Amino acid sequence: MLKMKSALPFAAMVATQVTLVGLTLAGKKTIETGMHNFEYIFYTNAISSLVLLPPALFIFRSPNRPTLTISLAGAFLGLGILGFMMQVLGYAGITYASTTEATAILNLIPGFTFLFAIIFGVEKLEYGGLAKIIGTLVSVLGAITVTLYTGPAVITPRLSSITPQKLLGQSSDFILGGLLMLINSVLTALFITAQALIVKKYSAVLIVVLAYSSSITILSLIASLILEHDLNMFNLQSKTQFLALLYSGLFGSGFQITIVLWCLKMKGPLFVSIFQPLGIVIAAILGVLFLGDGLYLGCVIGSVIIVIGFYGVMWV
């Protein structure tokens, strides 16, 4: 029973990475069908807010809930602003980069997270911390291997998945997408660290997530009205858009952020960030199974290195 309990954070973070790749696919598909970034962000966070409202209100009315202060409310708003910027840049990035490429660039998050965790005093630089650094760097090295080294095909891609862009190599769009995802990685690392600091002071995770989702809903609505001036952009144009929004709303803030916050309370920010490179492997596997993508030697070698990095962190 004790072993099962200790394995829960590990299993939960693997599940969030599967969800993250699904969110990337859903977001890319929805934006490609004509929906703008701000409207997509508005709908997904509005759905999350509606789903989280009943249980969060139940906790808020509980006599055992933590005390909510003005400073904490300000921290919730700051978290929402940071999350809004993160989502805008992230969804803009995936319009220019492929799902695997966009996920791969996020391999920088563990390093940035540890840096911010040291700066803000969440992690301490001691013997265990040094071991975590080594494990994190090994994992990042594996992710970089997946990103930069292709190698020969282990599984040949289906003909339908070979696009002109893949044949021509990196384009200016990919560079722009990479830059946006790089900035997104820095913001995500700061976001993870900020969440860790907040849940230390306010342990009611669902209330934190509701405040986060509600803030982003309001911010995206305001940004959309100011920058686009067209309410017709909020009209859903297809069943695909509706299903993608429903998935993103339920499994974005509704599931992923809640689980991440719980793991932050249990294990800390570095534990959460170390799972980010796993998304690269998951994206590659899903691409092979469902999109007809190829599997290349670089992905296999990088995956092995990532696993070694995982063990380095898990054993500390």
At residue 252, φ and ψ (nearest 5 deg) are: -80, -100
pLDDT at 135 over 80: no
Which tops the pLDDT comparison, 151 or 201?
201
pLDDT of residue 171: 46
Mean pLDDT of all residues belonging to the chain: 77
Say what the pLDDT of residue 162 is.
47
Of all residues in the chain, the percent with pLDDT exceeding 90 is 7
Query: Can you give the pLDDT at residue 166?
Result: 46
In the predicted structure, residue 129 carries a pLDDT above the cut 70: no
Helix axes 278-286, 297-314, angle to 10 degrees: 140
Q: Which of 68-72, 78-82, 189-193, 233-237 has the highest mean pLDDT?
A: 78-82
Contact present, 53 and 250 (Cβ < 8 Å) = no
State yes or no: pLDDT of 161 exceeds 70.
no
Establish how many alpha carbons lie within 13 A of residue 167's alpha carbon, considering only the half-sphere containing its beta carbon: 6
Residue 206: the pLDDT is: 84
From residue 5, alpha-carbon distances to 19, 225, 263, 266 in Å are: 21, 46, 12, 11
Burial of 65 (0-12, 13-18, 19+ CB in 10 A): middle
Query: What is the pLDDT, as a whole number, of residue 219?
Result: 93
Rounded to whole angstroms, how far apart are CA atoms 169 and 150? 12
